[in-house]
Amino acid sequence: MDFFHPQDQQKCTPKLQNNSSSKKRLTQDQVRLLERSFTTNKKLQPELKQQLASQLGVPPRQVAIWYQNKRARWRTQSLELDYNTLQVKLETALVDRRRLEKEVMQLQEELRRTREMLFALNNHGAAPPPLPVPNMSCNSSCDEGGSSSLQEEVNGDQALPFDELYACLIGAEISTWD
């Protein structure tokens, strides 16, 4: 059996020519016009489709497909921009969290030193009871209702409330000036 008969080639050739001529590639000017139209209308209304098709000299179906493809690319780009924005916000939040954790640790150390000093002034050199150690992991503090348990730990049984600590500090300073 011979696959390349001249008769078969003649039958196939007109069919291929029809397909290739009906699907023309858009010129840069045509694409610019479609892009301008897309910026004002993301959805293609039937009357706009007919108007653009006649202006561009292409079938209305080609305009509709271009719009469909452009909308899909536009959605993808929007999702990528949203993702990148969220990624930057997450990174910023993580940096802030690390900064705040460091600040909490510094404040905790300052509170410990102040407490030791107050205890030493009040008890003339006896060692103070140890301060509770705050739990800095986000898993335990965030999973239990979204708020940090640091305040609860600092104001627990072993730690002095901030008002009392401040009063003691002022009282200690006043008594040292007498």
DSSP 8-state symbol, 178: -
pLDDT of residue 120: 84
pLDDT of residue 154: 43
Q: Tell me the pLDDT tens digit for each residue of 1-39.
A: 455 554 544 444 444 444 445 568 899 999 999 999 999
Cα-Cα-Cα-Cα torsion 91, 93, 98, 104, nearest 10 degrees, comes to 170
Instruction: Using the predicted structure, report yes or no on whether residue 125 has a pLDDT greater than 90.
Output: no
pLDDT of residue 140: 44
Domain boundary assignment for the chain: 25-177
Which range has highest mean pLDDT (17-31, 105-119, 149-163)? 105-119
Q: List Cα–Cα distances, 72 to 66, 80, 172, in angstroms.
A: 10, 12, 71
Could you please state the CATH topology (level 3) that the domain comprising 25-177 is classified under.
Answer: Arc Repressor Mutant, subunit A (1.10.10)
Q: Tell whether pTM > 0.75.
A: no
For residues 50 and 170, the model is more confident at 50
Q: 44: how many CB neighbours lie within 10 A of its CB?
A: 20
Instruction: State the amino acid at position 43 in one-letter form.
Output: K
**Which residue shows structure tokens 């493809």?**
69
- Residue 169 banded pLDDT, cuts 50, 70, 90: low
Q: Tell me the pLDDT tens digit for each residue of 54-81.
A: 999 999 999 999 999 999 999 999 999 9
**Closest among 22, 24, 23, 56 to 37, alpha carbons compared:** 56
Instruction: State the amino acid at position 36 in one-letter form.
Output: R
Residue 158 to residue 87: CA distance in whole angstroms: 41
Q: List Cα–Cα distances, 84 to 70, 73, 149, in angstroms.
A: 21, 16, 32
